[in-house]
Chain A
Amino acid sequence: MLRLILQRLLALVPLLFIVSVLTFSFTSLLPSDPVDLIIGDNGTQEQYELVRERLGMNQPVVVRYFQWLGKAVQGDLGTSFFNSVSVMGAVMQRLPVTLSLTAMSALIAILIGVAAGVAAALRPQSWVDRFATLGATFGQAVPNFWFGLILVAIFAVNLRWFPATGFTPITQSPWEWLRSVILPSIALGTASSAAIARQVRSAMVGVLQQDYIRAARAQGLSARRVIFKHALTNAMVPVVAVLSFQITVLLGGALIVEQVFAINGLGTLAIGAVRQQDIPMLQGLVLVMVGLVVVVQLATDVVYGLLNPKARPS
């Protein structure tokens, strides 16, 4: 298993490198001159040169890239053009917020998706199956932010069960944290649970027809054991790949859903950075997100290896 992890880690190095090149070159193409943005309209030529020097803009792009990469590897993503805060600091401050939403919505998506998928697969064509299929089709058509608005209207404005806006850090109060993330996570996770349910259902229907399921039943193992141990372990193999993709989708979706609940996470940071053309901030955000995605992919690979012995390096 350790070998698998190392193997996958090595394979990720080129990916991260290419992402960094892409991010850097793309953001370097931004139309506005960052120096102009910083000194404003009234700056003198001297000030201009000074800032240009300070930002290292007078050096060739390749040199700037490697300087940026060298610092980035050490965890220094530069300084925001606008409020002079360190990008790493700003991102790290918001990261727990977005991570809370992503993790909680992933949990909800997996729980609902697997449960609905298995229930539908056990009785194909039954009303459970039809209901789950219908729900899945519907769930994938509902925009997460709209669903968030509706949840706010019902459960926050009307029933007052949950706060309509804001976020409480888990370190401050776990209970309040849960109350603040539950609505956004449901809004975010529903579409993914629909996608997962579809996958689980089709994988499970296929696995339940396998000989080894019938053989396990013939051996007198209980239906519950056969379904949840023998069948689900195998059915999850194709689902895990989908799961990894869905978590990436959830991370992106969190950026939008945060806006519905006025939650100050990476989304707010990203939108602000776009409006202000804050290059270091955008670069840092992309890198950190790719880092998160990479961690998720690594975790999925490990789970995949655990579920599917054929995928392990021998």
Chain B
Amino acid sequence: MSAGPATATAPRRARRRFGLASLITGVATAVLLALAFFAIFADWVVPYDPLKQNLIQALQGPSAAHWLGTDDLGRDVLSRLIYGCRIAVIAAAEGTSIAILLGVPLGLFIGYRGGWWDWVVMRVVEAVVSIPGIMVAIVIIALLGAGLHRAMIALGILFSTSFLRLARGVVLAEREEVYVRSARVVGASDGRILLRHIFPNIAPPLIVQVTLTVGAVLLAEAGLSFIGLGVQPPQASWGTMLNTAAAFMDLNWFLAIPPGIAIIVTVLSVNLLGDVLRDSIGRGIAVTARPQAPAAQPAAAGAVSVAGGAAPCTHGKDEVLRVEGLHVMVSGRDGAEVPVITDLSLGIARGETLGLVGESGSGKTLTGLAILGLTGATVRTASGSIVLNGRDLRRLPPRQLEKVRGNEVAMVFQDPTTSLNPAFTVGSQIAEVLRTKLGLGAKPAWERAVELIDRVGIPRPAERARAYPHELSGGMAQRIAIARALSCNPSLLIADEPTTALDVTVQQEILDLFRDLQDEFGMAILFVTHDLAVAADICDRISVMYAGEMVEMAGVNALFSDPRHPYTRGLLSAMPHSADRTPPLPTIRGNVPRPGSWPAGCRFSNRCDFYRPGACDRLVPLTGSGRLVRCVRAGEIELRAAS
């Protein structure tokens, strides 16, 4: 039923966003068209001669005769503003064209020639760029003299540096490409090949740079005219009008408004169009598929499997973590929520390692994050309880939960090189946790950090504590991450694929370390992995996840020797180690369905060799005692496997 509203809201929202973007584009385009219109037809549309003085009517406010008032010499502001449009268009066109005509060929040339030419020109460009732009323009104007066209030559030279660097960059990149492909063998000359390769590559960044330059030229022209080095009076430009306004600010402040608004609206339109252009060039036409509406109501799913939810596998009073009926929802781009984990229940005892196994997309990593309450803004834990050491974490206020993290539960992530902060030494990152979580002083915290680094088997710990993450190998960095996670002696450690990013030899060392540390600290471990071989090595029990739900849970030996769920069987036979028949490596056909497009009944039904219409199309509860399985045909399959 939820399919109706979910799919109905999606296009409406998309249309609204599309509407806003096209509205902005439309308005900006209209502004620039109006500007062009006034620039071309200024002589016909102005109500007055922009240079005609009338001292009797000087410095008047807006009136019926003069819509925008008059300036210090009684000239009509509206007429001068309209002529200013012409100056603005000329300035933008001249400045930008000069910049392109100067920068692009020179950039292409030095990029192509390389060597001394490139070195000298690039040093000059660096020098010019290190001088404030306005000062460069001022010096060039000193050389050429003031005036609109001369000022635009100055700005053109100034802004040519960015076009030069852009063109040079494209040539250098393409040169590499061309040589790699060794198109030269065909016999065409370098130059011709380069040109053919360059044009399609230079066009998009060039367009972007043009939009940036047009806005900058307009602002710079106004600034130069304002200080009297650009357009010269009595000619009307927005900059010179502001120069006049500045002198009469206390008599008639309104004089500053029309030219100011004109500049802002024009530059804003250019920049906004540039943004839109940049976005469309940058992203291409990337349309992400929206997840479909959920096939089954999560609430219904929860109700059916209550019997299975209260299942055994509990280790009684020794239990550190008990998750019961966990439902996690993710909201898509359109705001509609889709379930990603449904009715998940599991428990881990002190000193025990529970493996959470499944393909990517099965929701196993998200389970770990949901326990910590760190799923991010778009993901929401909808219902269920997460009881850690007797307290339901979902009922804790944020502050309390923050205390629990680190102290009672900690997490080790997949990629150690990205889970450590690159800006701080590894020792300080461990010491920081000790200081903030345990209230240790700076020195004891550091000493304890060094001890921990020693404990996870890193030689010369005092020295390594001062290293930055990028100075350590992956295995070493993962040891540091483990040391940090264990720094407050948590009772639960969540390890999310902690060996996946490491070399095979290092993997074994890290697994041994986990075992050692568990013997010493006695924490429970929730070990998330897609690798059954790793899970077999370290876990006591394994819980298999598929499409957001648990499909089977059993002790490690039972699971490997006698898998009950067809998916588990598929996973096991896909393991390279267990395949006696060498070729071909059996795999499960198809992929894990995306959240939102799960089959209505058994979520594995569309990939299952044992699918039976009818029986498998209804919601399947988790059943069994001692070990659990979510399959209506579990008994039959067992028989068949035995025969």
Interface residues in chain A, defined as those with a beta carbon under 8 Å from any beta carbon in chain B = 14-15, 18-19, 22-23, 26-27, 29-31, 137-138, 140-146, 149-150, 152-153, 157, 164, 210-212, 214-223, 225, 230, 233-234, 237, 248-249, 251-253, 255-256, 259-260, 267, 270-271, 273-274, 277, 282, 285-286, 289-290, 293-294, 297, 307-310
Contacts of A225 in B (CB 8 A): 436
Would you call B410 and A218 a contact (CB within 8 A)?
yes
A26 to B124, CA, bound (A): 13
Within the complex, the shortest CB–CB distance from B146 to chain A, in Å, comes to 8
Interface residues of B in 101-141 (CB under 8 A from A): 123-124, 126-128, 130-135, 138-141
Contacts of A14 in B (CB 8 A): 123
Would you call A217 and B127 a contact (CB within 8 A)?
no
Q: B246 touches which one: A19, A149, A219 (CB < 8 A)? A: A149
Q: B134 touches which one: A150, A220, A253, A273 (CB < 8 A)? A: A253
List 7 A-B residue pairs with CB atoms under 8 Å apart, sorted by A's residue number: A137-B271, A143-B263, A146-B264, A215-B419, A255-B227, A256-B227, A293-B130
Q: B374 touches which one: A145, A164, A218, A255 (CB < 8 A)? A: A218
A274 with B141, Cβ < 8 A, contacts A212-B421, A219-B406 known = yes
A216 with B421, Cβ < 8 A, contacts A145-B242, A149-B260, A259-B227 known = yes
Within the complex, the shortest CB–CB distance from B539 to chain A, in Å, comes to 21
A259 with B226, Cβ < 8 A, contacts A218-B405, A219-B485, A290-B130 known = yes
Would you call B246 and A260 a contact (CB within 8 A)?
yes
Would you call A211 and B418 a contact (CB within 8 A)?
yes
Would you call B139 and A26 a contact (CB within 8 A)?
yes
A285 to B139, CA, bound (A): 10
Contacts of A293 in B (CB 8 A): 130-132
Categorize the interface residue count of chain B.
35 or more
Would you call B142 and A309 a contact (CB within 8 A)?
no
Would you call A271 and B227 a contact (CB within 8 A)?
yes
Interface residues of B in 416-460 (CB under 8 A from A): 418-424, 432-433, 436-437
Flag B131-172 by CB within 8 Å of A: 1 or 0 each: 111110011111101100000000000000000000000000
Contacts of B138 in A (CB 8 A): 255, 270-271, 274, 282
Stretch at the interface among B249-257, B344-352, B542-550: B249-257
**Chain A residue at minimum C-beta to C-beta distance from B146:** A274
Within the complex, the shortest CB–CB distance from A207 to chain B, in Å, comes to 10
Contacts of B126 in A (CB 8 A): 15, 18
Would you call B132 and A30 a contact (CB within 8 A)?
no
A214 to B413, CA, bound (A): 9
Check: B72 CB closer than 8 A to any chain A CB.
Answer: no
Check: B330 CB closer than 8 A to any chain A CB.
Answer: no
A234 with B421, Cβ < 8 A, contacts A19-B127, A222-B402 known = yes
A255 to B140, CA, bound (A): 16
A196 to B432, CA, bound (A): 30
Q: B271 touches which one: A27, A141, A260 (CB < 8 A)? A: A141
A14 to B139, CA, bound (A): 21
Would you call B127 and A140 a contact (CB within 8 A)?
no
A309 with B468, Cβ < 8 A, contacts A22-B128, A267-B227 known = yes
Would you call B468 and A149 a contact (CB within 8 A)?
no
A162 to B267, CA, bound (A): 29
Check: B551 CB closer than 8 A to any chain A CB.
Answer: no
Would you call B253 and A153 a contact (CB within 8 A)?
yes
A212 with B268, Cβ < 8 A, contacts A19-B127, A141-B215 known = no
Contacts of A217 in B (CB 8 A): 372, 374, 405
Contacts of B415 in A (CB 8 A): 211
Would you call A150 and B272 a contact (CB within 8 A)?
no
Within the complex, the shortest CB–CB distance from B397 to chain A, in Å, comes to 13
**Chain A residue at minimum C-beta to C-beta distance from B142:** A274
Interface centre among B132, B275, B432 (most CB of A within 10 A): B132
Interface residues of B in 241-291 (CB under 8 A from A): 242, 245-246, 249-250, 253, 256, 259-260, 263-264, 267-268, 271-272, 275
A210 to B470, CA, bound (A): 15
Q: B135 touches which one: A27, A140, A221, A252 (CB < 8 A)? A: A252
Would you call A18 and B423 a contact (CB within 8 A)?
no
A145 to B422, CA, bound (A): 41
Contacts of B127 in A (CB 8 A): 15, 18-19, 22, 290
**Chain B residue at minimum C-beta to C-beta distance from A144:** B223
Would you call A215 and B413 a contact (CB within 8 A)?
yes
A137 to B269, CA, bound (A): 10
Would you call A214 and B404 a contact (CB within 8 A)?
no
Q: B139 touches which one: A145, A237, A286 (CB < 8 A)? A: A286
**Chain A residue at minimum C-beta to C-beta distance from B255:** A149
Contacts of B250 in A (CB 8 A): 157, 164
Q: A234-B421, A271-B227, A285-B135 are in contact. List 10 more A-B contacts (CB 8 A).
A: A137-B272, A140-B215, A141-B271, A145-B223, A149-B253, A212-B418, A218-B372, A220-B405, A248-B133, A297-B130
**Chain B residue at minimum C-beta to C-beta distance from A138:** B268
Contacts of A146 in B (CB 8 A): 222, 242, 256, 259-260, 263-264
Q: A141 touches which one: B139, B268, B432 (CB < 8 A)? A: B268
Would you call B249 and A153 a contact (CB within 8 A)?
yes
A141 to B214, CA, bound (A): 12
A143 with B223, Cβ < 8 A, contacts A215-B481, A222-B436 known = yes
Interface centre among A18, A218, A267, A309 (most CB of B within 10 A): A218
Contacts of B485 in A (CB 8 A): 219
Check: B198 CB closer than 8 A to any chain A CB.
Answer: no
A80 to B222, CA, bound (A): 29
A256 to B138, CA, bound (A): 11
Would you call B422 and A141 a contact (CB within 8 A)?
no
Would you call A294 and B130 a contact (CB within 8 A)?
yes
A310 with B139, Cβ < 8 A, contacts A141-B264, A146-B263, A271-B229 known = no
User: What 6 A-B pairs come out closest when comparing CB atoms?
Assistant: A220-B406, A252-B132, A220-B405, A252-B134, A141-B267, A141-B268
**Chain A residue at minimum C-beta to C-beta distance from B404:** A220
Contacts of B420 in A (CB 8 A): 212, 215
Contacts of B246 in A (CB 8 A): 145, 149, 259-260
**Chain B residue at minimum C-beta to C-beta distance from A215:** B419
Within the complex, the shortest CB–CB distance from A56 to chain B, in Å, comes to 21
**Chain A residue at minimum C-beta to C-beta distance from B368:** A218
A22 to B406, CA, bound (A): 60
Check: B479 CB closer than 8 A to any chain A CB.
Answer: no
**Chain B residue at minimum C-beta to C-beta distance from A259:** B227
Contacts of B256 in A (CB 8 A): 146, 149-150, 153
Would you call A286 and B406 a contact (CB within 8 A)?
no
Contacts of B422 in A (CB 8 A): 212, 234, 308-310
Would you call B419 and A211 a contact (CB within 8 A)?
yes
A233 with B139, Cβ < 8 A, contacts A22-B127, A138-B268 known = no
Would you call A310 and B132 a contact (CB within 8 A)?
no
A26 to B405, CA, bound (A): 65
Would you call B403 and A251 a contact (CB within 8 A)?
no
Flag B325-348 by CB within 8 Å of A: 1 or 0 each: 000000000000000000000000
Check: B219 CB closer than 8 A to any chain A CB.
Answer: yes
Within the complex, the shortest CB–CB distance from B474 to chain A, in Å, comes to 13
A27 to B420, CA, bound (A): 54
A143 with B402, Cβ < 8 A, contacts A273-B142, A307-B423 known = no
Would you call B405 and A219 a contact (CB within 8 A)?
yes
Check: B298 CB closer than 8 A to any chain A CB.
Answer: no
A59 to B264, CA, bound (A): 51
Check: B622 CB closer than 8 A to any chain A CB.
Answer: no
Contacts of A222 in B (CB 8 A): 402, 436
